[in-house]
């Protein structure tokens, strides 16, 4: 059986969605539901470039300048792609879960995915979640609201929202569904069984 695991294909799952949509929560729930399998979790946020290397953008309406943490150039995409390829190639993992804003936007990454998921959540709910989360990190209401209204929502419309049409399934981020999670888990386990059978 161990020999078969090394020959079997690694199933790569990509999870995208807007800021505070629930994609990280779903990714963690999925990892827990895949108990017994060797799972690698990759978070795109872990690949942010150093602050001084990230782009600075001017807000379309106010003209204020912000460090643009929602632009593709703020992520070390080549390093992420290298780590993703290495994790898939080494035979150590049966499943790789990659989650992040731009998971379905970056073409090279998107083409590697065996299952593409997008977590959808209304903008008003996402901004409330973002406020609660970021205020918990010590940021003020005005700091969070200003960058969201001045820049984040425009980047969402430019990069994140259009990428949902690359998804195989769009998940409800406002009311997470146990059935949706079960369906995703069933698909992954079925793909692994089929891959093992093909190795016989």
Cα 74 to Cα 106: distance, rounded to the nearest angstrom: 13
| Topology (CATH level 3) of domain 2-199 | Rossmann fold (3.40.50)
Residue 63 pLDDT greater than 80, yes or no: yes
What confidence score (pLDDT) does residue 130 get? 94
Residue 198 pLDDT greater than 70, yes or no: yes
Cα 119 to Cα 105: distance, rounded to the nearest angstrom: 14
Q: Residue length, the chain?
A: 200
Cα 147 to Cα 164: distance, rounded to the nearest angstrom: 23
- Spans of all domains in the chain: 2-199
Quickly state the pLDDT bin for 2 (edges 50, 70, 90): very low
CA atoms within 13 A on the CB side of 52: 0
Question: Which residues are paired to 125 by β-bridges?
Answer: none
The whole model's pTM is what?
0.91
CA distances (Å), origin 115, targets 12, 60, 118, 128, 166: 7, 35, 10, 29, 10
What confidence score (pLDDT) does residue 200 get? 66
Q: What is the pLDDT of residues 14-61, one digit of tens each?
A: 999 999 999 999 999 999 999 999 999 999 999 999 999 999 999 998
Mapping DSSP onto H, E and C, the string for the chain reads: CHHHHHHCCCEEEEEEECCCCCHHHHHHHHHHHCCCCCEEEEEHHHHECCHHHCCEEECCCCCCEEECCCCHHHECHHHHHHHHHHHHHCCCCCEEEEECCCCCCCHHHHHHCCEEEEEECCHHHHHHHHHHHHHHCCCCHHHHHHHHHHHHHHHHHHHHHHHHHHCCEEEECCCCCHHHHHHHHHHHHHHHHHHHHHHC
* Section 116-127 average pLDDT: 96
């Amino acid at each position: 059986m161990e020999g078969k695991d090394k020959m079997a294909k690694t199933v790569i799952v990509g999870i995208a969605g807007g800021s505070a949509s629930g994609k990280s929560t779903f990714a963690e729930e999925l990892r827990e539901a895949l108990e017994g399998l060797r799972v690698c979790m990759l978070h795109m946020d872990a690949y942010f470039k150093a602050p001084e290397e990230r782009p600075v953008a001017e807000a379309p309406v106010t003209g204020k300048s912000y460090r643009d943490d929602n632009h593709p150039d703020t992520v070390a995409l080549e390093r992420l792609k290298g780590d993703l390829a290495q994790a898939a190639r080494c035979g150590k993992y049966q499943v790789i879960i990659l989650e992040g804003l731009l998971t379905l936007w970056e073409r090279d990454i998107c083409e590697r995915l065996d299952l593409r998921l997008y977590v959808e959540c209304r903008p008003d709910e996402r901004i409330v979640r973002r406020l609660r989360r970021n205020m918990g990190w010590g940021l003020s209401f005005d700091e969070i609201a200003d960058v969201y209204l001045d820049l984040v929502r425009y980047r969402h419309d430019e990069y994140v929202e259009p990428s949902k049409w690359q998804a195989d399934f769009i998940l409800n981020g406002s009311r997470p569904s146990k059935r949706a999670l079960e369906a995703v888990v069933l698909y992954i386990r079925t793909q692994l069984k089929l891959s093992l059978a093909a190795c016989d």
